[in-house]
């Protein structure tokens, strides 16, 4: 029997991906370990390796296909002594068992996960179970979607009375989070009252709101008469759009800015870099270390909003925004506070390199409790960054430039770097944010203390 | 006597009882109804329907008298009281026959007689004191209705002092008449007799007529009736009635404490109703009676398992459509249907078929305020509506009350021609939980009186077009 090549699950949270490119064609001989195809998930491009020797019998999912569910058969590999007749056997054999197969090949790209699950019940079972067990972000959003669909009909319409909608609007409650008790599951006044009374729904709503709000309904129509080309929204772009829209809509941001004098830091950096070729420490590496140490000093800030609870993290995992083609990605330096400058610097370099190549594993860019975004290299003096949910803070680093400063009552020149902290006020109050920023500034301006 | 077994036995076939029985039959229950008098109960025979027939005669009479205004000529306009009543009785008879047909069609067993509870799951039926049937039933619905309430010193004698019952079948139209009570029943008779030419005095103990209606509507109707020549005494109390030859002297203390002795030919007592809780075997059961009405929960269950009560028997609002709806809720709950909803009294419209008509649903402005709502109130007068003017009915008002915060339609109150036919629109809106926005998005046909429903809504938000 031909060997089935399936859509791999590249991370615990992956449920679907884009089959971006086939590197083999039907009839090619492949051996175990050969790269068969490239798969694009929400942030990374991964390669599918052949798990066996054989000949590519049939490619079932064309390249460029989006939203291919994990475990979907994407190609058939012919083993020793098999030829295309076996393929037909396999095909017809499977046809009997799964009449949907033929259709499956030409299934529309927007086939939903749910549909796939119901078509391939047996095969999809483990995945479904896995999905439930998952704690990851995408699993969470899946769950939300499922909860929402309780009251939403197949066409996505939420059945709710006008009054229920009005009340939900007034109370800032996401109506899709409410279960309807009216005729045909319609959400009516008493359901909203119950949801508001329980209070839980409201908090849930804060998390779920972006789901509803990023619906196509809010998308502006193309401007009349203007010429434009449509650029397909990549998985990464979509994730950026959803996450940052969610962030701005649901996280109450506030911003704190300090100016840090970095002359001593620059001196120290030159000194350190002059000592060895094994590392080349950047200003950004100092920033990462300073953030990590500041988070250790102000542990209240190393936390995230969890609706009914605030989650305080044990480790300081710092995400660092890296611009890559078509968007950005935030590789995570785990336990950054435990790593010395050289180790940090090398790790960051390696992560950034692979990020640019689109080769980061999901575990390498997911998670993290705080982010750093540095636009200093672009000459940006100061900016306010959008929090990377579900994190509670992000530090925006501007350019280090020579500025006139007042020192001991006299005008002087110093290298100054403006840093702006964006805080999730649900987790970080002004004082906590200020403490964090003060601690950060302390480390940056007196970098020797980072060695302690 | 052989005992007959049923899934459901309903005592009483008013609009509560017969509707409950038909719904039960639809749901596959073996059902029997017991009726001591006429199928259809008071509503069909002595209430809603025959009064509408009478009022229609009065309306046509009124129009004929104003034929000139429509460019028509009519001389020697007169009525034949006997024929007016005869028509009313015929209408009632026809509908009662219709109920018989419906029950038969639905294979509901009809038992003639008086039913009473006789132990757990048992009902005995008697006719003229003799037993006619013994029934066993898994479920029993009491739907025995209500009768006119009598106050001490104010007892009807059926000759000079009437209840609705006599008032509906007058031998002649009295020259003068005093109505005690200005609820829907009292006002309808007052309006009928006034239009037929009687000198009518209405005595209301509360400070306004139609006290359950919105104050503005009461005031509007008050003026309209006075304009018609009716005497309305509010905040007034009837001290006593002395019958004499050819009529009665009613002593009334007016709002200022002044005593009046009013001579009239007839008196109509319309001071509310009381449930028919007697002689239905409630003694020794767990069925609770309070203030003349059987106590039930939201599913119309009494304290006695398997015994339910609906309609006027369980209390206000004393409306046929409320009884019917309760009958359906009760039966569907018994049948274990999904999505049975308890009755929301705020969504029950109330109609009074006087001239001008009164119709309302939901909270009055005062009650909405008392409930703590911030309000948006809209008003639109009939005089701004083309159809009303064409009809020659340019006196009236549509008032709508919205919650300023959510836009919820809290109440709608109308006075004027045909408003009893309009109110269902607001009732549907309320049941669907409408806000002002959906009403504003609704296209109302032109030219109709219903356009005023839209205009009133718009007016609540300062957007009325035609005023």
pLDDT, position B78: 95
Q: A334: how many CB neighbours lie within 10 A of its CB? A: 15
pLDDT, position A19: 85
Percent of chain A with pLDDT over 70: 78
Task: Note the maximum CA span of chain A.
Answer: 89
Name the average pLDDT for chain A: 79
Q: Residue B184's closest CA among B33, B32, B276, B322? A: B322
Q: What are phi and psi of B264, to 5 degrees?
A: -140, 165
Quick check: B433 and A188 CB within 8 A? yes
Is there a single domain that holds both residue A258 and residue A400?
Answer: yes
Is there a single domain that holds both residue A145 and residue A110?
Answer: no
Model-wide pTM > 0.90: no
Answer yes or no: is pLDDT of A149 > 50.
no
> Are the CB atoms for A353 and A284 separated by under 8 Å?
no
CA distance A234 to A218: 19
Is there a single domain that holds both residue A27 and residue A71?
Answer: yes
Answer yes or no: is pLDDT of A131 > 90.
no
Every domain of chain B and the residues it spans = 3-147+274-334, 161-271, 356-460
Asked if the structure places residue A323 within a domain, the reply is yes
Could you tell me the pLDDT band of residue B400, with boundaries at 50, 70 and 90? very high
> Are the CB atoms for B13 and B99 separated by under 8 Å?
yes
pLDDT, position A43: 63
Q: Residue B108's closest CA among B20, B3, B1? A: B20
Q: Which CATH number belongs to the domain containing residue A182 in this structure?
A: 4.10.320.10
Which position has the higher pLDDT, A227 or B27?
B27
Nearest-CA residue of chain B relative to A168?
B406
Answer yes or no: is pLDDT of A374 > 80.
yes
Could you tell me the pLDDT band of residue A255, with boundaries at 50, 70 and 90? very high
pLDDT, position B293: 95
Could you tell me the pLDDT band of residue A187, with boundaries at 50, 70 and 90? very high
Helix, strand or coil for residue A179? coil
Which residues from A are below 8 Å from B339, CB to CB?
A: 183
Q: Which tens digit of pLDDT belongs to each residue from B85-111?
A: 999 999 999 999 999 999 999 999 999
Is there a single domain that holds both residue A152 and residue A272?
Answer: no
Q: Which CATH number belongs to the domain containing residue A434 in this structure?
A: 3.30.559.10
What's the Cα-to-Cα distance from A234 to each of A20, A45, A65, rounded to whole Å?
A: 11, 12, 12
ipTM, 2 decimals? 0.78
Q: Which of B403, B433, B437, B439 to mutate to test the interface with A (most CBs of A within 10 A)?
A: B433
Is there a single domain that holds both residue A178 and residue A289?
Answer: no
CATH topology of domain B356-460: Enolase-like; domain 1 (3.30.390)
Answer yes or no: is pLDDT of A23 > 80.
yes
CA distance A127 to B111: 64
Domain B3-147+274-334 coded CATH 3.50.50.60: yes
Chain A contact residues (CB < 8 Å to B): 161-164, 166-167, 170, 183, 188-189
* Beta-carbon contacts of residue B240 (< 8 Å; ≥ 6 apart): B153, B154, B250, B251
Quick check: A170 and B405 CB within 8 A? yes
pLDDT, position A231: 81
Which residues from B are below 8 Å from A167, CB to CB?
A: 406, 408
What's the Cα-to-Cα distance from A1 to each of A85, A123, A204, rounded to whole Å?
A: 10, 18, 49
Is there a single domain that holds both residue A27 and residue A126?
Answer: yes
Q: Determine the distance in angstroms separating the CA of B50 from the nearest CA of chain A, rounded to an integer.
A: 36
Quick check: B407 and A163 CB within 8 A? yes
List the domain range (segments joined by +) for residue A432: 252-451
> Helices marked H in B106-214 — which ranges?
164-167, 184-195
Answer yes or no: is pLDDT of A209 > 70.
no
Is there a single domain that holds both residue A151 and residue A35?
Answer: no
Q: Which tens digit of pLDDT belongs to each residue from A274-293?
A: 988 888 999 999 999 999 99
Q: B288: how many CB neighbours lie within 10 A of its CB? A: 13
Answer yes or no: is pLDDT of A253 > 90.
yes
Asked if the structure places residue A236 within a domain, the reply is no
Q: Determine the distance in angstroms separating the CA of B366 from the nearest CA of chain A, rounded to an integer.
A: 22
Picking from A190, A213, A236, the residue at the C-terminal end of a domain is: A213
Quick check: B408 and A170 CB within 8 A? no
Could you tell me the pLDDT band of residue A11, with boundaries at 50, 70 and 90? low
Average pLDDT over residues A247-275: 93
First to last CA, chain B: 71
Closest CB to B406: pick one of A170, A183, A188.
A170
Q: Which CATH number belongs to the domain containing residue A10 in this structure?
A: 2.40.50.100
| Domains B3-147+274-334 and B161-271 agree in fold | yes
Asked if the structure places residue A68 within a domain, the reply is yes
Domain B161-271 coded CATH 1.10.10.10: no
Is there a single domain that holds both residue A139 and residue A124?
Answer: no
Q: Determine the distance in angstroms separating the CA of A166 from the nearest CA of chain B, rounded to an integer.
A: 5
Asked if the structure places residue A221 within a domain, the reply is no
> Are the CB atoms for B361 and B193 separated by under 8 Å?
no
Which position has the higher pLDDT, A322 or A102?
A322
Could you tell me the pLDDT band of residue A204, with boundaries at 50, 70 and 90? very low
Given the residues A130, A186, A280, A425, the one annotated as active site: A425
pLDDT, position B2: 86
Q: Which tens digit of pLDDT belongs to each residue from A73-117?
A: 888 888 777 776 666 555 444 444 443 434 444 444 444 444 444
Is there a single domain that holds both residue A13 and residue A116?
Answer: yes
Q: Which of A55-64, B212-221, B332-341, B362-371 has the lowest mean pLDDT?
A: A55-64
Q: How many structural domains is chain A composed of?
A: 3
Which residues from B are below 8 Å from A166, CB to CB?
A: 406-408, 435, 437
Which residues from A are below 8 Å from B434, CB to CB?
A: 161-163
Q: B403: how many CB neighbours lie within 10 A of its CB? A: 22
Which residues from A are below 8 Å from B432, CB to CB?
A: 161-162
Could you tell me the pLDDT band of residue A443, with boundaries at 50, 70 and 90? very high
Quick check: B405 and A162 CB within 8 A? no
Task: Please confirm, yes or no, whether A253 is among the known catalytic residues.
Answer: no
């Amino acid at each position: 029997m031909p060997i089935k090549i399936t859509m791999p699950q590249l991370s615990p949270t992956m449920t679907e991906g884009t089959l971006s490119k086939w590197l083999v064609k039907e009839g090619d001989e492949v051996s175990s370990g050969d790269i068969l195809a490239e798969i694009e998930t929400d942030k990374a491009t991964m390669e599918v390796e052949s798990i066996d020797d054989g000949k590519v019998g049939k490619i079932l999912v064309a390249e460029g296909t989006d939203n291919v569910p994990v475990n979907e058969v994407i190609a058939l590999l012919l083993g020793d002594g098999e030829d295309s007749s076996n393929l037909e056997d396999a095909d017809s054999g499977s046809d009997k068992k799964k009449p949907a197969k033929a259709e499956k090949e030409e299934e529309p790209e927007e086939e939903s996960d749910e549909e796939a699950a119901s078509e391939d019940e047996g095969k999809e079972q483990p995945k479904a179970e896995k999905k439930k067990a998952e704690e990851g972000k995408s699993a969470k959003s899946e769950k939300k979607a499922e909860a929402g669909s309780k009251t939403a009909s197949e066409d996505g319409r939420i059945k709710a009375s006008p009054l229920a909608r009005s009340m939900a609007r007034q109370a800032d409650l996401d109506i899709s989070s409410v279960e309807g008790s009216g005729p045909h599951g319609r959400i009516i006044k008493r359901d909203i009252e119950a949801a508001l009374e329980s209070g839980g729904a409201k908090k849930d709503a804060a998390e779920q709101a972006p789901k509803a709000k990023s619906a196509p309904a809010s998308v502006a129509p193309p401007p009349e008469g203007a010429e434009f080309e449509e650029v397909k929204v990549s998985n990464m772009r979509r994730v950026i759009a959803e996450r940052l829209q969610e962030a701005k809509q649901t996280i109450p941001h506030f911003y704190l800015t300090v100016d840090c004098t970095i002359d001593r830091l620059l001196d120290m950096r030159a000194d350190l870099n002059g000592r060895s070729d094994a590392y080349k420490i950047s200003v950004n590496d100092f920033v990462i270390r300073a953030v990590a140490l500041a988070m250790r000093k102000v542990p209240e800030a190393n936390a995230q909003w969890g609706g009914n609870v605030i989650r305080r993290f044990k480790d300081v995992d710092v995400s660092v925004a890296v611009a890559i083609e078509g968007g950005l990605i935030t590789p995570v330096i785990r336990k950054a506070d435990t790593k010395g400058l050289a180790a940090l610097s090398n790790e960051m370099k390696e992560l950034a390199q692979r990020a640019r190549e689109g080769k980061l594993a999901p575990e390498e860019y997911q998670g993290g409790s705080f982010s750093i975004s540095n636009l200093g290299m672009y000459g940006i003096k100061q900016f306010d960054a959008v929090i990377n949910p579900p994190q509670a803070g992000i530090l925006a680093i501007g350019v280090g430039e020579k500025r006139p400063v007042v020192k001991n009552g006299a005008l002087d020149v110093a290298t100054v770097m403006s840093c702006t902290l964006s805080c999730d006020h649900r987790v970080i109050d002004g004082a906590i944010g200020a403490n964090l920023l003060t601690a950060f500034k302390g480390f940056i301006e007196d970098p020797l203390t980072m060695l302690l | 006597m052989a005992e007959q077994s049923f899934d459901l036995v309903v005592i009483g076939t008013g609009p509560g009882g017969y509707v409950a029985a038909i719904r039960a039959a639809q749901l596959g229950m073996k059902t029997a109804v017991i009726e001591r008098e006429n199928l259809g109960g008071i509503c069909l025979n002595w209430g809603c329907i025959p009064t509408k027939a009478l009022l229609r005669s009065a309306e046509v009479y009124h129009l004929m008298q104003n034929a000139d205004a429509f460019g028509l000529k009519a001389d020697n306009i007169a009525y034949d009281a006997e024929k007016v009543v005869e028509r009313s009785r015929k209408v009632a008879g026809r509908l009662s026959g219709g109920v018989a047909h419906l029950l038969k069609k639905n294979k509901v067993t009809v038992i003639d007689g008086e039913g009473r509870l006789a132990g757990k799951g048992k009902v005995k039926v008697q006719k003229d004191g003799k037993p006619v049937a013994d029934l066993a039933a898994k479920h029993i619905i009491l739907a025995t209705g209500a009768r006119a309430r009598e106050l001490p010193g104010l007892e009807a004698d059926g000759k000079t002092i009437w209840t609705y019952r006599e008032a509906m079948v007058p031998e002649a139209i009295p020259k003068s008449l005093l109505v005690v009570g200005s609820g829907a029943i009292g006002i309808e008779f007052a309006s009928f007799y006034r239009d037929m030419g009687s000198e009518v005095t209405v005595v209301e103990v509360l400070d306004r007529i139609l006290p359950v209606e919105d104050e503005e509507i009461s005031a509007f109707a008050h003026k309209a009736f006075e304009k018609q020549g009716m005497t309305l005494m509010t905040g007034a109390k009837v001290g006593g009635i002395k019958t004499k030859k050819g009529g009665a002297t009613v002593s009334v203390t007016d709002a200022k404490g002044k005593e009046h002795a009013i001579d009239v030919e007839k008196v109509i007592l319309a001071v509310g109703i009381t449930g028919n809780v007697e002689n239905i075997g409630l003694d020794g059961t767990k069925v609770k009676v309070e203030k003349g009405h059987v106590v039930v929960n939201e599913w119309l269950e009494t304290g006695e398992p398997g015994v339910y009560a609906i309609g006027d028997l369980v209390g206000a609002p004393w409306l046929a459509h409320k009884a019917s709806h309760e009958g359906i809720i009760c039966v569907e709950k018994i049948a274990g249907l999904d999505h049975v909803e308890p009755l929301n009294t705020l969504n029950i419209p109330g109609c009074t078929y006087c001239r001008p008509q009164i119709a309302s649903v939901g909270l009055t402005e005062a009650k909405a305020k008392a409930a703590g709502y911030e309000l948006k109130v809209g008003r639109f007068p009939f005089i701004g509506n083309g159809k009303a003017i064409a009809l020659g009915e340019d006196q009236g008002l549509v008032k709508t009350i919205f919650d300023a915060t959510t836009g919820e339609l809290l109440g709608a109150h109308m006075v004027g021609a045909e408003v009893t036919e309009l109110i269902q629109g607001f009732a549907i809106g309320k049941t669907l939980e409408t806000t002002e926005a959906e009403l504003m998005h609704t296209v109302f046909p032109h030219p109709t009186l219903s356009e005023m429903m839209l205009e009133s809504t718009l007016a609540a938000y300062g957007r009325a077009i035609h005023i």
